[in-house]
Structure 1
């Protein structure tokens, strides 16, 4: 799928990676970019159309889908990340919070826009996943679980939407240099690098993008059981 002439919806587009997805979509010639955010007043990028969108609110998502029937590309970027493992503290509550946004939010948006994409020639979905879709990092235990579920959801969407010609792209990447990772002492890639590689993959017909060296490495050694060893996120 090509960005030139596309009508794009980006969730969580008011900052960080989502903002960069919106910015580069415009730069690559998108005809229209809807910038979804819980508070659309925080969307300040010139040239986009701010849309009130809370991915955890199924009714709100459905209403946005009804409003934006010309969309040909959906970028499922909205997500949350909380520190914490799967044993200590209150992991059940934290996991539910992660799942609500990172999995059910992605499901709400994908299901609501599936018919729209099909009616507009198939289009594409880009789902922002993670390096920890493939392994669990103790300091991000519940987040890792949610991203593993989001990876499986992405694979399911790919198979079910293939018949209508929808390209489903899973983006795997490690730490990105945004405000969400500001307190982490770890190698990070820029939002510009991630989005550039993702859009290049989309336009080349890819179904999966590994946007940094860490993700490329982990994917290459999955069959060796890398996920069985404890991973130091730092």
Structure 2
């Protein structure tokens, strides 16, 4: 027990013990808050860097993959990470490498290399499910053309005109048709010309593999506060 010059008594030992208890409770929490501020600043810097260095800018799904694993009072460590699903795609930008059939971003049969400019959104990517839509459309067309060919064979065999069983007679006025094939060493989905003798248009190009150079420097930006 201590006594000051004015006759006021106070428990110095108890006060010291209380202060130590407060320090143990408050300081780790304050430290975690400070570290998390740095972490979220680093995340903002990485997103800003991604906007400048990813061709066409990252889309909303990619941005959601940049997350902060926050520090706590019990564990004063933080990290800025990419979620596993987004990391599967980002790995080619961060580490470089070769994407092959079956890898993330590829199909079971091919690796999509590029798409027609008019099919891309402002991020430089084809709209969601675009490939699935044109694949199904090409399959429907192939089936229909097969049936029309069989129908023409029957008409010819019976000496009748085949005009009504041609693709031109069946298709919509604005639909020239699409198909999957290899033209001049380029494999992909092609749009048929509207007029006979016209030019084919490549919609999606495929290859067996696609090589990537490391272009996204994960440690380059400094935290922005």
TM-score w.r.t. the length of structure 1 is 0.21
Q: Which has the higher contact order (CA 8 A, sep 6+)?
A: 2
- Larger-Rg structure: 2
TM-score w.r.t. the length of structure 2 is 0.21
